Structure 1
Amino acid sequence: MMNCCGLITVQKEPVPLQSIEVELEVKDHVATVVSTLKYQNKEDKPVEAVFVFPLPGDAAVCHFSAVIGQKEIVAEVKEKQEAREEYDDSLSSGQQAFLLEESEQSPDIFSMKVGGLAPGESASIRLEYVTELAVQADDGLRFCLPAVLNPRYQPQGSEGASVQVFSVPASLVPYTLCFCGRLFSPRPICKVESSCSLEPLQYLNTDQTQATVKLAAGHKFDRDVELVIYYKDAHQPTAVVEAGQTSAETGTLMGDPVVMVSLYPEFPQSVMSSVASCGEFVFLMDRSGSMGSSMNSKERHQTCIMSDRDTLLLLLKSLPMGCYFNIYSFGYNYEHIFPQSVEYNQKTMEEALKKVEEMEANLGGTEILKPLKHIYSQRCIPNQPQQLFVFIDGGVVNTKKVLCLVKKNSSCHSCFSFGIGEGASSALINGLAKEGGGHAQFITGTDRMQPKVIQSLRFALQPAVEDISVTWGLPKGVSVTVLSPPITSIFQGQRSLIYGQLTGQGRPQRGSVTVKYSLAGRPSQNQLHFSLKPAEDTGLTVHRLAARTLIRSLEMEDRELRGRQDGGIKEKVMQLSVQSGVSSCFTAFIAVNKADGKVIQGPLVRRNVPTAGEYLSQNKLKQIFCHPSSLDVIGCKEATAPKQPPRDPLLQLVSLQKASGCWILDPDLAAALGKTSEEVEKSKPAMVTSEVWATILALIWLHGFKMDAKEEWELLAMKAASWLRAQNGRNLIHKC
């Protein structure tokens, strides 16, 4: 038996990627990432290395260069087909060439070609991008360096070839990762959490506004490198004005100053203490084969689908009386519990929970487009705003088509999305929330799904924010062109970003931006005053993020109009991409080494560089995607039903709650409370009904034993308290 060693793929072919070095710099909520990839051809013939890899879906790739020997070749942004032809022509003529392009179907997948590496030659590739860090529901800022690119499901009959990804077990990944980060903030950095092992946070100054973070020694490149950064007083609105590029023409995006405004609306406590009692809640659950895998390595018995079932239990118990709901699940096909959404009551809740308990990860691939179309085809229920909750553990090839559908229907619903486990597509998860006017969350590592989902349910139950408008107060002669899409949703404490191109004279002075909206039927507003003086040491970060924001909006508009009219949108995107140096789906980075005049002799041998991940053979993938009934077979051995662990005491108690919010005094409740039936019944005051007493005991148990999980049960406890008040329970408690 031959030992596997050296730079090899699963097919035992050598590859030239040796190492990846990543430098992260975070300034407040903006991250700049520089990746250096070192290649070396150890073969006796010239090679072309092809590396398909993920990046954050909203990243603005702004630099691509290669160093061969002592010579640096900086890539240019060109129209994609032109760049491809130049790359092919260069290789045909014996020159070295490098090509970087974004997938036309999913903006978080990139492919890089390193062509013309002579035998024994090394090349160092530098890739730089900037991105905004998403705000989590607990106010942390999430950075993720994707390490796992799961095979993307491609629907049958869809156009274009699937991205070819070569995945291998982490132990066989033939390259190393070095990662370090520097954090800068106007506010103290409280802590940094990660699913990976980190060295202790090192502060660089006494006020703790600068720090360094590094991966602990021995890190395996088998998972995403996820950091969640927490600042003190995170909800501080800010505005950064960045000077234009001196070499760019005035009047263009790159030539004029650009302002980036971050707003954190705060709602009155009187409004936040109430929750909506209406709405149509639609839960769309991923039941593809991969959902049968473990949530994390420490709790192998807890699979993703099991966690989904527990989450649905908490969601259904937390819904208000008077709302409507339905549950869809999808894989290769999709199912729904009710033909259409039904009113929430004890009967429908019990029927739904019975079906939820039967859910398994057995529906095949990841055809999310089909159930979405069906959901949107249903008639809207009057005075019941639709709230869509989407749970998915991977990605799809047709990401942009899915997002277009969500945006098309965004006027009639809000979309809350959840990426489960390693490899969930950030472009899909963040895009669903952005285009659907909701909020996105990622559940990775040892995260529990339930508190994050209930936090999002809180957002969905907030009073509706309507009639949103943005007005600017600027000095005479100064005007602004807003580059961001209109704000369609506002949630308590969640960030709203606005980019604007400033033109005219009169700087430096002061300006303001005001967001007005109607909250619970009352006019409200949030305002920020800021200096128009450009900040120092920002480079062109704000301009590139603004360009990326405008490019993404134009790409979406182009896709919506495709087949009807072009309108020159593609040309606008290409022009903006070339001027700003930011990638788009219509352009690519191309670099050709013309300096030394050397000609590469002989035909190039293509080597596909594998991506870290759980390896599935091509035949097995076909079996899984094409034959849903065969999904019990994953990897190299047959999946067996995991042994059911004892039910969590909290979930046991929650499962007994009625839709109205009350509990029943019976032996099941006594067992959940750790008492005998005689003990709970004997303590009941004579003037208190059994249901009231049972509900009081359940609430006492929750507050006494499960305060650490309060986020998970607080909504259902509020419903129980409301039920008690309706029964004059408060007076009865005092009598007790």
Structure 2
Amino acid sequence: MDCCGLLTLQKEPVPLKSIEVELEVRDHVATVVSTLNYENKEDKPLEAVFVFPLPGDAAVCHFSAQIGQTQIVAEVKEKQKAREEYDDALSSGQQAFLLEESDESPDIFSLRVGSLPPAESASIRLEYVTELAVQADDGLRFCLPGVLNPRYQPQGSEGAGVQVTSVPASLVPYSLSFSARVSSPRPISKVESNCSLDPLQYLNTDQTQATVKLAAGHKFDRDVELLIYYKDAHQPTAVVEAGQASAEPGSLMGDPVVMVSLYPEFPQSVMSSTASCGEFVFLVDRSGSMDCATNNTEQQETRISSAKDTLLLLLKSLPMGCYFNIYSFGSSYEHIFPKSVEYGEKTMEEALKKVEQMKADLGGTEILEPLKHIYSQPCIPTQPRQLFVFTDGEVGNTKEVIDLVKKNSGSHRCFSFGIGEGASSALINGMAKEGGGHAQFITGTDRMQPKVMQSLRFALQPAVEDVSVTWDLPKGSTVTVLSPPITTIFQGKRSLIYAQLTGQSSEAAEGCVTVKYSLAGHPSENQLHFSLRPAEDTGLIVHRLAARTLICLLEMEAENNEEKEEVKKKVVQLSVQSGVSSSFTAFIAVNKDNNKEIQGPLLHRDIPMAGLMGFAATPCCLRANISSFSPGLDYYCAMDDSEDYEVDYGNPLEFEDTSCYRALPDEEFPPAKKPPRDPLLQLVSLQKASGCWLLDPALAAALGKTNEEVEKSKPEKASSEVWATILALIWLHGFKMDAKDEWELLAAKAVSWLSAQKAPSVTECVEAGNILLGCSVQKTALGL
């Protein structure tokens, strides 16, 4: 293949041959063991560099290499020392292995395999533990990132960014095998995935243990996502784990650690009253990569079009009397209104017109500046600020962004949405965690709308205030809480607490933890009693997750602390003691048993990741200077005239040779045919801000009837708006119950409007509407 810049396609073999991943899930905690098998088929020694993603909150806790019969287990050391040790080993002809977290983003790691002699093989074993997030439908989500999209590094920001070699999924030159074992105190009802799986195999009759495997032939065009469903998922639990025998008593690793998982339940009376106030700020990514398809289905809906449809539903579902604004960003940012405005028919219509015109045409992904602008706006009294962020997460300055959200956490809640494969889990989860909101990922064939509406329901829930956590332990035992204080609680969402237990207590002793809070003025409490007897055979998972939690807190402190060096020392000390990676440390392994020095200069080989961006998947010109392109023109690759490859202007990747690109004038691109609009969105688009519908030909068309049929069927005493609104509600209940999550809030608004009308002919309207639309929806089902 003629290529002009992609090293790994220039007939040079890739030394990584296969990746084997074994996942063990115990309740809501996952242990992942990845084995990377390398082989040097070249005639010179080489150094292989692999940059890859991991879940953002993963605690990497083991790294070792097997060369022939020799196994070398890596140690955690301060990052600069580890790099120097690695370089010294290579320059003296020894084999060495270095694993380190990116300085800019905690979900990107680089693995250097140094001095692999000709015809030599090496197996690298990497282990990490992570908590599994609870989804809106109570599934636990595990994601093995298989895609690393280039991260946009804003101009002037610190750090050089992460250099990623991307290839199309079909050209990834190594294989992946993946197997999972799931066990829980509660039965496993099902395991789903966005990839093809072999059937779930239960290992016992009560279905509390099961195994599942990825079907052979996995294509690297998506992350591997597992959704695990348990029966009675919302049971609170506590696991006490004994300390490490070799560790010093009184240290984190030497003492027992408890992990408490709580699911607060709110009174139904409070849950039924959603807030009718708030300032809703929507921040939408319009960088070039948002023009990519949302998923791999044949419809090829783009990320930006899905975001626009979602904004329509959000704007129709907002309560009257709230405030709102919409920002969009790329290399620059725009806003629809200079400041948040009161929600009403006029402002809603103005916003929808602007949303309809949105395109993915604002260049790179610079999210920091619009966030700074939003936070600089004064908050509106009695209108709590709720920020919704939609992005495909290809951001290089992740830590700066999360830090900014944390600094402003007292003034708002942040709900974040990662769109498409390869979205940064560190960014999406980090913003929601520090902003006291909720994170969602939209991948595979997921629809964005139900997930976003779930978050809007959370945003409309009454805010929980005055949260306190108290512990009751036997005499002689004390507790040190390692987790950050709980500041937000949502109905049915898990709150995790890690705590170190010090002192002696009898084996039969019991502890108790109580969470108290105030909800809409009502005091509430949730209590959990647990045995202090340590669980058997947990492999220090809880200790490592607790260490990672504490490390993240200290790292954040180091960003904003004048005594940065002191805090950094604490992180390095904790990281070394616990064997868990941090941004200030790295894993280093040196093969000191190697008698033969490895001779000759090392060849450098970058291992490619699958990249899903439109042009990252073109097999030519991976590194060119993007500044040689002109804004506003579309380019295609002319190296291979059999196919046109488009490139997005403003993308962070550098291209080595732009000579193979030619600009195409706009008229050479025939306008794309617009797919017919989803009937649900068609109906929703006609609803007024107040909640009602108007009786007109557009409504009749959306209902699949003629205007004459709709007019003729109207009961005589009914007003046009009441009749139109009841028809819309019957249609939603009769034909779109499978999408109820998407329209439930706007239907509730319509019911409130109808109730306020005190219309005399509601029963007649429901009966006539059912006859006209061929439905049998009861009046009570409509909420009337």
Structure 2 length-normalised TM: 0.91
The one of 763, 775, 780 equivalent to 1:734 is 763
The answer for the alignment partner of 2:531 in structure 1 is 531
- Offset of 1:638 from its aligned partner? 6.6
Q: Secondary structure at the match of 2:740?
A: helix
| 313-322 or 188-197: bigger deviation | 188-197
Q: CA deviation at 1:630?
A: 4.6
Instruction: Describe the shift of the 1:734–1:485 C-alpha distance in structure 2 as closer, same or farther (beyond 3 A).
Output: same
More displaced 10-residue stretch of structure 1: 611-620 or 262-271? 611-620
CA shift, 1:37, in A, is 0.4
* Stretch moving more, 498-507 or 682-691: 682-691
Number of the residue aligned with 2:572:
574
Cα separation, 2, equivalents of 1:452 and 1:20: 32
Q: Tell me, what secondary structure is at the counterpart of 1:476?
A: coil
Q: How far apart are 1:532 and its partner, in Å?
A: 0.5
1:549 aligned onto 2:549: yes
Deviations 1:17-47 (A, max 9, x none): 1110000000000000000001111111110
Correspondences of 1:493-512 after superposition (within 5 Å): 493-508=492-507, 509-512=509-512
Q: Distance in 2 between matches of 1:68 and 1:208?
A: 40
- Work out the CA distance in 1 between the residues paired with 2:233 and 2:628: 44
Q: Give the secondary structure class of the aligned counterpart of 2:351.
A: helix
What residue in structure 2 maps to residue 20 of structure 1?
A: 19
Q: Which residue matches 1:646?
A: 676
Match of 2:735 in 1: 705
Give the conservation status (yes or no) of the 8 Å contact 1:8–1:174.
Answer: no
| Structure 1 match to 2:746 | 716
1:675-714 equivalences in 2 (<5 Å): 675-714=705-744
What is the CA–CA distance in structure 2 between the aligned matches of 1:239 and 1:174, rounded to whole Å? Answer: 44
Letter in 1 for 2:73: V
Q: Does 1:265 align with 2:274?
A: no
Q: Please tell me whether the aligned partners of residues 364 and 629 of structure 1 are also in contact (alpha carbons under 8 angstroms).
A: no
Given that 2:221 and 2:610 are in contact with CA atoms closer than 8 Å, whether structure 1 keeps it comes out as yes
1:637 is matched with 646
Whichever residue aligns with residue 695 of structure 1, its letter is: T
Secondary structure in structure 1 of the residue aligned to 2:564: coil
**What is the aligned partner in structure 1 of residue 590 from structure 2?**
592
Q: 2:195 matched to which residue of 1?
A: 196
Q: Which residue of 2 aligns with 1:94?
A: 93
Aligned with 1:623 (options 626, 631, 634): 626
Distance 1:711 1:240, change over 3 A: same
Letter aligned with residue 518 of structure 2: S
Give the deviation of 1:605 after TM superposition. 1.1
The residue type paired with residue 320 of structure 1 is: P
Distance 2:495 2:63 in 1: 30
Partners of 1:99 and 1:589 within 8 A in 2: yes
Letter in 2 for 1:527: Q
Separation (CA, whole Å) in 2 of partners of 1:145 and 1:87: 28
Q: C-alpha offsets along residues 500-523 of structure 1, whole Å, 9 cap, x if unaligned?
A: 000011142101111111101111
Letter in 1 for 2:761: L
Q: Distance in 1 between matches of 2:476 and 2:189?
A: 42
| Amino acid aligned to 1:295 | T
The answer for the alignment partner of 1:660 in structure 2 is 690
Question: Secondary structure of the residue that 1:35 maps to in structure 2?
Answer: strand
1:441 is paired with a residue of what secondary structure? Answer: strand
Is this contact kept in 1: 2:285–2:392, CA < 8 A? yes
Change (3 A) 1:624 1:142: farther
1:502/1:241 CA distance change after superposition, 3 Å: same
Aligned residue for 1:9, secondary structure, equals helix
Summarize the Cα distance change of 1:619–1:130 in structure 2 as closer, same or farther, 3 Å threshold: closer
Instruction: Give the CA deviation at 1:677.
Output: 1.4
Q: Amino acid of the residue matched to residue 699 of structure 2?
A: L
- Following the alignment from structure 2 to structure 1, what is the Cα–Cα distance between the partners of residues 2 and 556? 50
Indicate if the aligned counterparts of 2:3 and 2:621 stay in contact, CA closer than 8 A: no
Deviates more, 1:500-509 or 1:9-18: 9-18
User: What is the aligned partner in structure 2 of residue 378 from structure 1?
Assistant: 377
Letter in structure 1 aligned against 2:632: S
Partners of 1:289 and 1:108 in 2: CA distance: 22
CA–CA distance in structure 1, aligned partners of residues 395 and 51 of structure 2: 15
* Matched-pair contact (CA < 8 Å) for 2:78–2:572: yes
Any conservation in 2 of the 1:259–1:502 contact (CA below 8 Å)?
A: yes
627-636 or 176-185, larger mean C-alpha shift: 627-636
Q: Which residue of 2 aligns with 1:236?
A: 235
Q: Is the 8 A contact 2:393 2:428 kept in 1?
A: no
Q: Give 1:468 shift.
A: 0.8
Tell me whether 1:282 sits opposite 2:281 in the alignment: yes
Instruction: Give how far 1:221 is off.
Output: 2.3
Q: Give SS of 2:90's match.
A: helix
CA offsets, 1:256-277, max 9 Å, x none?
0000000001111111111100
Kindly state the Cα deviation for residue 297 of structure 1 after the two structures are TM-superposed: 2.3
1:212 to 2:215 alignment: no
Residues 452 and 465 of structure 1: CA distance in aligned 2, closer, same or farther (over 3 Å): same
Q: Deviations over 1:449-470 (max 9, x none)?
A: 1000000100000011111111
Tell me the distance in 2 between the aligned counterparts of 1:422 and 1:37: 22
2:722 corresponds to which letter in structure 1? V
Deviation at 1:734, TM superposition (A): 3.3
Question: Which structure 2 residues correspond to residues 98-117 of structure 1 after superposition, within 5 A?
Answer: 98-117=97-116
Q: Measure, in 2, the Cα distance between the counterparts of 1:624 and 1:270.
A: 59
Is the CA contact (8 Å cut-off) linking 2:420 and 2:444 kept in structure 1? Answer: yes
Give, in angstroms, the shift of residue 611 of structure 1.
Answer: 0.8
Which stretch of structure 1 is more off in the superposition, 686-695 or 710-719? 686-695
Q: Equivalences for 1:302-451 in 2 at 5 Å?
A: 302-451=301-450
Q: Which residue of 1 aligns with 2:66?
A: 67
Could you tell me which runs of 5 or more consecutive residues in structure 1 were left unpaired when the two chains were aligned. none
CA distance in 2, matches of 1:530, 1:392: 41
| AA at the equivalent of 2:646 | K
Measure, in 1, the Cα distance between the counterparts of 2:568 and 2:491: 37
Report the alpha carbon displacement of residue 586 of structure 1 after superposing the two structures with TM. Answer: 0.3
Distance apart, 1:724 and its partner CA: 0.5
* Secondary structure in 1 matching 2:339: coil
Tell me the residue number matched to 2:659: none
Match of 1:516 in 2: 516
Alignment correspondent of 1:674: 704
Q: Distance in 2 between matches of 1:500 and 1:632?
A: 56
Aligned partner of residue 142 in structure 1, secondary structure:
strand
CA deviations over 1:324-352 (Å, ceiling 9, x no partner): 00001111111110001000000000000
Q: In the alignment, what sits opposite 2:607?
A: 609
Which one is further off, 664-673 or 346-355? Answer: 664-673
Residue identity matched to 1:339:
P
Partner of 2:770: none
Distance 1:311 1:679 in 2: 31
> Structure 1: how far apart are the matches of 2:763 and 2:735?
22
Contact 1:363 1:631 survives alignment (8 Å): no
- Look up the SS of the partner of 1:720 in the other structure: helix
Q: Please report how far the alpha carbon of residue 290 of structure 1 lies from its aligned counterpart in structure 2 after TM superposition.
A: 1.1
